[in-house]
Amino acid sequence: MFKQRVITALLLLPLAALLLFYPTLEIFSFILIPIFGLLAWEWSKLLETKYAVVQYGFIAGALAIVGFFCYQLFNMGFYETPNHILMQKAGLGLLNLYPFKALMVAALIWVLAFVLVLMFPKGSRLWTRGAALRMLFGWVMLAAAWLAIVLIRSSQYEIDTNYGGFLLLLMFFVIWGADVGAYLAGKTFGKNKLAPVVSPNKTWEGFFGGLITSFLVAWALGTYMGLPLPLKYFIPFVLILGIVSVIGDLFVSMLKRQAKIKDTSNILPGHGGLLDRLDSTLSVAPFFVVLLLWLKGGF
């Protein structure tokens, strides 16, 4: 199994690198839409419904919301001059602009998701009476992640078209660092369970090992990128994102446990489904945008 996971990862890395750096911003946004359609298809398996119309309705709704965001960005002239649009207001003042309001809603939804994880399984009756709440969560989380990833990719696009790609890579380094570091530290030192009901294999030792690994790899890439990295800002920046990545993982694990499925699909040999690999990305991406504004005072 481990060998299969490594082979799959090595095959996917060049494709991921091409997607991050090669397409124009507009084409990048369009390529993401079917990818998020696939994520919506996998999420539909977590709805615990026997009605195909509900599942297909959820997928169609997710694509419609993402399409609406894409259309709104196009109307704003975002794809022609993204930096001009985003720098209308400095720093956290950007949160008053339309795209960022949507991300703030998503951030609040993720806070609620964390509360549900803490309450599981006692609080599961709040969201298992029908599929409506899980559909709402999915629509908000998927659409906000698409929007956040596009906004990150647009960073300083008119100055350096690759800069946003490196920022996305920085985000993934934080997520991968938290995942790999937690696995290695948990295997080596793990004794105290982090969330035994939701994810029995996760430990507090792994959690802290993941945070340390996230910081180290993010610091290395950030230094290579030439980012201004005062520790008083960068440490909480990475730590918050590392914690949020764990919340994303735990939330999807909770939904899978409730639905009694191990993986959302088997399209990635050794890894399961795309959602199984990108669950943390859904939670981290909106927070990454907001925290990046705080860290740098703007894009």
Q: Which residues contact 27 (CB under 8 A, 6 or more apart)?
A: none
For position 16, what pLDDT does the model report? 80
Pull the structure tokens for residue 71. 């259309």
* C-alpha span between 189 and 174 (Å, rounded): 21
* Three-class SS state of 298: coil
Quick one: which of 227, 222, 85 has its CA closest to 151?
Answer: 85
Quick one: which of 190, 181, 142 has its CA closest to 43?
Answer: 142
Cβ 98 vs Cβ 72: under 8 Å: yes
- ∠70-164-218 over CA atoms, to 5°? 130
Cβ 5 vs Cβ 270: under 8 Å: yes
What tens-digit pLDDT sequence spans the chain (299 residues)? 445 555 655 666 778 888 888 899 999 999 999 999 999 999 999 998 888 999 999 999 999 999 988 888 888 788 887 765 554 544 444 445 556 778 888 989 999 999 989 888 786 777 777 788 999 999 999 999 999 999 999 888 888 889 899 999 999 999 988 988 888 898 888 888 988 888 888 899 999 999 999 999 999 988 888 877 778 888 889 999 999 999 999 999 999 998 888 888 787 665 678 898 889 999 999 999 888 777 665 43
Dihedral angle, C-alpha 207, 208, 213, 214, nearest 10 °: 70
Written as one letter, the residue type at 162 is N
State how far Cα 160 lies from the chain centre.
Answer: 24
For position 10, what pLDDT does the model report? 64
* C-alpha span between 103 and 45 (Å, rounded): 25
Written as one letter, the residue type at 217 is V
Pull the structure tokens for residue 194. 């982090």
Quick one: which of 201, 184, 102 has its CA closest to 143?
Answer: 102
Q: Please report, in angstroms and rounded to a whole number, the separation of the first and last CA atoms in the chain.
A: 41
For position 122, what pLDDT does the model report? 80
* C-alpha span between 32 and 24 (Å, rounded): 12
- ∠134-41-250 over CA atoms, to 5°? 50
